[in-house]
Amino acid sequence: FNVIESLTNKVLYIMAATPEESSTVNRPRNFLCTDATKPYEYCYYSYGKPVSIVVDQTPEDETWPGGALWDIGVLLSHFLVALAGFQPSKSITTPPRLLAAVPSIKALQSVLELGCGVGLTGIVAAAVLGTELTILTDLDVVVEKVTNPNIENNSSPATTATGKHPQQRQVPYRLTKAGKRGRIMAMPLCWGNSHDEQAVMDCFQTWTKEEKPRRKQKQPKSSVATLPKDRRQPDVIIIGDVAYQHYPGAPSHFDELLSTVLTFLGPHTIVIFGTRMR
């Protein structure tokens, strides 16, 4: 793998360049995740102690391509582990310039992943950042059969909603796998679907804390720093390897993806976009 970095004002691109593949094979080769029929174990070190997160995969057509773990998911996980100051178990170097582009991980308290698939990257994000809420999203069938089971296997059992939010049907899980044990949940979100987008926004509004007023600064570093934060808009949007045409002639959904990204994009939001050049 050759990891290539690229930065814009608000988007971090993590691109992986790999050897050219045969154009006759529609399902591309993976180099880090080579068997979609077996669980994948991702490991890192938290304060010197080994941490293991295991996600199940399935090659079934019903959930393809979301039922399999892709190499970009592992690379993004490495980036998040390094960003949080932990140590990946494998020696994949994260470019320092990418890490320096994120001003402070303390401000990263809400994370949205689009097209999460098996959910490894989002689970790692919640674990190492200790988020108030990480929401993993994908198509309904992927969330039901792949993402949610993986969250449950790496988390404590969900509790019944009582007290402050008795009307809330979905309750975030609390990760039990070391790290900082952030809260996490999965929801269906079809790009461009305003109903799905609103449901996710409502959860961010419900399960994240209202930002405390900041002290006035004599000379703000930027105009963005003075803008109020909308809790419906996450601090981080993660998008990993959604550019793959998973069957010949499949239509492009980039317009819908862009629409959804812009819906959730706030003045403080950082977008982490990982893709593989094929």
**Model confidence over 38-48: pLDDT tens digits?**
999 999 998 88
Determine the pLDDT at residue 162: 45
Which of residues 81 and 99 earns the better pLDDT score? 81
Which structure tokens are listed for 80?
């998040």
pTM for the model stands at 0.84
What does the pLDDT look like over 218-273, one tens digit per residue?
Answer: 555 554 455 567 888 999 999 998 876 666 677 778 889 999 999 999 998 999 99
Rg, Å, the chain Cα set? 18
Distance, in Å, from the CA atom of 134 to the CA atom of 127, rounded to the nearest integer, reads 10
Q: What span, in angstroms and rounded, lies between the C-alpha atoms of 200 and 198? A: 5
Parallel/antiparallel/unpaired status of strands 49-55 and 40-46: antiparallel
CA distance 108 to 129: 7
Distances (CA, A) of 69 to 171, 173, 195: 25, 22, 28
Q: How far apart are the C-alpha atoms of 179 and 88, rounded to whole Å?
A: 12
Structural tokens at position 69? 């773990």
The rounded mean pLDDT for the chain is 81
Q: How confident is the model at residue 105 (pLDDT cuts 50, 70, 90)?
A: confident
Tokens of 222: 């930027």
Which token pair is 260?
Answer: 């959804």
pLDDT of 163: 45
Q: Reduced to 3 states, what is the DSSP secondary structure of residue 232?
A: coil
The whole-number pLDDT of residue 269 equals: 93
Beta bridge partners, 7, equal 12
Check residues 100 and 110 and name the one with the higher pLDDT: 110
Share above pLDDT 70 across residues of the chain, in percent, rounded to a whole number: 74
More confident site: 23 or 271: 271
pLDDT, one tens digit per residue, over 179-212 is 567 899 999 999 999 999 999 999 999 998 876 6
